[in-house]
Structure 1
Amino acid sequence: MKAAIVTIGDEILIGQIVDTNSSFIAKSFDKIGIGVFEMLSISDDKQHILKTLSSLQNTFDVVIITGGLGPTKDDITKKTLCEYLGDELVYDEAVLAHVTQLIEGFFKRPITQINKDQALVPSKAQVLFNKVGTAPGMWMEKENTVFISLPGVPYEMKYLVENEVIPRLIAKFNRPYILHKTIRTYGIGESLLAEQIESWEDNLPDFVKLAYLPSPGQVRLRLSARGNDEKQLQIELDKQVEKLHQIIGEAIVGFDDGETLEVVLGKLLKEKGLTLSTAESCTGGKIAATITSVSGSSNYFKGSVVSYASETKVNILGVAQELIDRHSVVSVEVAEAMALGVQKLMQTDYALATTGNAGPNKGDADAEVGTVVIALATPNGVYTEEFNFGQPREKVIDRAVTKALEKIYKEILKN
């Protein structure tokens, strides 16, 4: 089963809006065993649309199109589809009644001809009834390809995909199972990780594929298995994950997209009845924001001091001015004092502190641009490490946040 997704609209091509529709459709198709092999964004131009449809015809089992179904003159998708399919537009009485009820009953204004024309559909199309909007979806077939046209408004598109498109695709096509397992690793770069698991990767069965999904401070490994026996696919995925755990177990902190490091850390803190606070300089509160993005984090996270200025470090966290003068604000000594200060202030078991020079300019600090010092105060002492995360500024901050969470996670696991 092969599918293509086409989004129509100049607003996407000029960057005015972000195409979230394709992502939603791809995820929905993947769940029912339909692989998306191509995504296209094209302009509201008749010839361009016709050329695109022709290029996809008989190459894909399903072509799903979003956009261009509105009431204005620049919405040309329906007319163009009719021309491509050799069809004509006719009024659908059920859609017309629905549009009339929405305009006159809900919006309390007379229906216009433009509104009525929303009920025009190709005569040979199966109408996908849109209960949450005025533009209906349309299911059309030509030779070996199903063409599905949906409105571009995200909530309308989602309603139609979930309630009309997916049930029809399941009924029409025999589909393989596609199962995924995503393993989250921290503290190992992509190239080093690839070296460590090379032999395991080379021996994966043909029906299991591996993808590397790197981001600052972490690499997700996505295993995808495709076949007709769902139970056997799941057994094989579990077996491969167990083998992987034997190789890089210390680097694995979670599975699947919902288990981010902050989620796993939160579970660990809650399970052990431990509390955490943060004192942040160069990360500007982003560690705290990441931790508190998890529902229920108030059970273990007690608060943060964003001590961006030196006087805040001194006046709130109790860092000695003499320490800053002697060692510089970006130093192991100051980071340790910040961690101990917020640990005492918030009365927590653990405390994280960051100080650094995220750039792009060197500023008042002596440290090189990209330098970050991370301190972790624990019940047994304070542990500090210095890093240089390079540039740009956003990368430095993101990597500092990830490394800080990784440090406390690994420290708690030891105890």
Structure 2
Amino acid sequence: MRRHLETTWMPADCERFADLQFTNGRIVLTDAERDELAACYERASVGADGPHDETVRLLTRSFSRRDTIPEYYRYTSLHVFDWYLRQHPDDTDRAALVALHVTLSDLARVESREAGRVWRPSAETSERLHRLRTLITRVRRIVTDPGSGETVQDLVRGEFVTDSARRRRFLLSRCSGFRQSDKHDEHIFLRCVQACELVFFLVRQTAHRVVDAVGADPPLAGERLRRLGTYADLLNDIFHLLRTLTPTMFMGFREATGAASAVQSLNYHLMELVVYGHDPRKAETYDRFPHLAVLNAPALRGRRALVDVVEETGDPALRSLLDDSTRALLTWRGRHYGFGRRYLADIKGSGGTDGASYLKRYVDKTRYARTGDRTEHHDLLVDFACR
């Protein structure tokens, strides 16, 4: 029955598009195959808008020549995650947690299948699977509704109730796991990047909700700050998993990823902007990428951040919870810098930065005076950011 449904959701031509990209990585695609995928996207973007065209768009947007898509977004297929979250406009937080579970579970299937190819997996492979399973368990145990005790595990089970929900999850997994290279180790890198994007979004959304509750309901603001800390801890868990890549493994596929760089990530920069406020040290970087230039807009430069709002309350309990959250984010930035120092060393970053030195510059945060209205919500700050 399940196989029949998957065949319905992924017709033969769509399955072929997926196999072209998945089997040996996108880098081996011929010019003719790239032309075909680009043409299919353009055709599916006009006229009828049925399930088939929707699936074709999800599978082929990365090859579009009509849309201006930064390399980072072509590589990460974040448009698929954006599509998934837009199916749940009234509950994007829960949808993001389910998407995170789907992403990590798909990685677990890929890693388990690879481990099964040999009689005795290596110590590195065994440790990777252990860390991955531990992370998935932590995600499943996240409480999404303190009142009912609902967890992510409950959401995951609920998502299987209808065929339409199953289809959304299937397409999220099937249309987003495409490496550039033929190296197996790129799977964990790509899926960890996608997982981080979802957590950046969750941190940002939760920070908004803390600000909304600070004046009206301090206990609720505290509850939301604790949740923000839980999400921030996930970033460290993801990097702990990513460290199962050795420098040799990483360099085995890095060149294939081309100019795709996390410095181009809107979700990352927006998370930092909402939590810490605009950092003028990044202004030059923002201006270097057209899709980031909006982050230098006056409304965003002057916007008061979560740290400003909580500090102004003078509430020691809220300040303590904020410290817990920002400490977790500081640890993550330190680990990100450590990753760059270990894996890139003196190599220039793929986004044109000076690699590890660029990351080191932003480990510690500097407070800047901001006078903007804390309630002014730019549309960009609310949605999952994808270009």
Give TM-score scaled by structure 2 length. 0.21
Structure number with higher strand proportion: 1
Whose radius of gyration is greater, 1 or 2? 1
Structure number with higher helix proportion: 2
